[in-house]
């Protein structure tokens, strides 16, 4: 299926590895021009080389921290300078630390809110005016299955990413008349570096092995396996496409059936 985004300009935050990288790969394969971002220029340059070799896509690299508001503005401005506009925005940041409520200080809460909620607001604020003017835009936020079914030991993610869900649903209604869609993809237990760290945290907390932690997760997944980053990347790319023009305000889980709820 041709997603109809060849020549569209896509900004993918946090795209030097993991889920962000998988989304960047999927968009590049569809002919989008890419702006990739992280705090490591070395990693970004390696990713750029691999994507260009695999797809021939035009790729720009922007090394910046999205935690402060000016980082988001810097990223969007760099994309507009390189390609003239931003059509697609994928917000994605590393997950906050694992732990129970009493494990986290007020300072850790503030840092997590800044990284995982405020950064989304800042990116959308910077990219949205151009999308509205051109009357076309796609915004996809990478959140978590925890917004529908809280995960033990991930209170920061459970709470803060739910805030992103509320923000996205609200703003999707505000910008729908401009042909701008806003959706969320909810990764389940997926093979990323983040999951390795979570498995280690669970093993330490529960006094089990890392392998036991993985086994415990897969036992709860109807498909009986972990997800692959490319599987989420494909869903995100579809939400960025012309074919998803009537899909907005939705939170779509890519979790192998892990969420037990009906909606």
- Predicted confidence at residue 110, as pLDDT, reads 97
40: in domain = yes
Summarised one tens digit per residue, pLDDT across range 180-206 is: 999 999 999 999 988 898 899 888 999
Whether residue 125 has pLDDT greater than 90: yes
Place of tokens 């701008």: 180
CA distance 160 to 150: 11
Count of structural domains, the chain: 1
What predicted TM-score, i.e. pTM, was given to this entire model?
A: 0.95
Average pLDDT over residues 102-129: 97
204: in domain = no
- Predicted confidence at residue 69, as pLDDT, reads 86
219: in domain = no
- Predicted confidence at residue 41, as pLDDT, reads 94
The CATH number of residue 37's host domain is 3.40.50.720
Token reading at 162: 């739910």
193 vs 101: which has the higher pLDDT: 101
Summarised one tens digit per residue, pLDDT across range 28-43 is: 999 999 999 999 999 9
What is the span of the domain harbouring residue 28? 9-188+228-254
Confidence tier at 47 by pLDDT (50, 70, 90): very high
Token reading at 250: 């939705």
The neighbour count for residue 248, using CB atoms within 10 Å, is: 21
Q: H helices of the chain, where?
A: 18-29, 41-55, 69-83, 106-113, 119-134, 155-175, 193-206, 210-220, 229-239
Percentage of the chain modeled with pLDDT above 90: 92
Using DSSP, state whether 55 is helix, strand or coil.
helix
- Predicted confidence at residue 96, as pLDDT, reads 92
262: in domain = no
259: in domain = no
Taking CA 232 as the corner, what is the angle to CA 69 and CA 43, rounded to the nearest 5 degrees?
Answer: 55
215: in domain = no
């Amino acid at each position: 299926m041709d997603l109809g985004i060849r020549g569209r300009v896509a900004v993918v935050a946090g795209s030097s590895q993991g889920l962000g990288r998988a989304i960047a790969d999927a968009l590049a394969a569809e002919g989008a021009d890419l702006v990739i971002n992280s705090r490591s220029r070395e990693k970004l340059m390696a990713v750029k080389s691999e994507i260009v070799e695999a797809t021939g896509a035009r790729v720009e690299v922007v090394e910046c921290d999205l935690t402060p508001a000016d980082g988001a503005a810097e990223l969007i401005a760099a994309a507009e300078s390189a390609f003239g506009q931003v059509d697609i925005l994928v917000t994605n940041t590393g997950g906050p630390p694992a732990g129970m409520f009493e494990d986290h200080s007020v300072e850790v809460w503030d840092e997590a809110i800044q990284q995982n909620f405020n950064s989304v607001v800042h990116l959308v604020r910077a990219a949205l005016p151009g999308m509205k003017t051109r009357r076309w835009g796609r915004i996809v936020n990478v959140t978590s299955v925890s917004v529908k079914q809280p995960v033990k030991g991930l209170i920061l993610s459970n709470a803060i990413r739910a805030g992103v869900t509320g923000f996205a649903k609200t703003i999707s209604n505000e910008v729908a008349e401009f042909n701008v869609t806003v959706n969320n993809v909810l990764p389940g237990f997926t093979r990323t570096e983040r999951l390795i760290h979570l498995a280690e945290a669970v093993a330490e907390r529960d006094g089990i092995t890392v392998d036991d932690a993985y086994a415990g997760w897969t036992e709860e997944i109807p498909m009986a396996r972990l997800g692959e980053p490319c599987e989420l990347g494909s869903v995100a790319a579809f939400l960025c496409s012309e074919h998803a023009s009537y899909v907005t305000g939705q939170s779509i889980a890519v979790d192998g059936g892990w969420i037990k709820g009906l909606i």
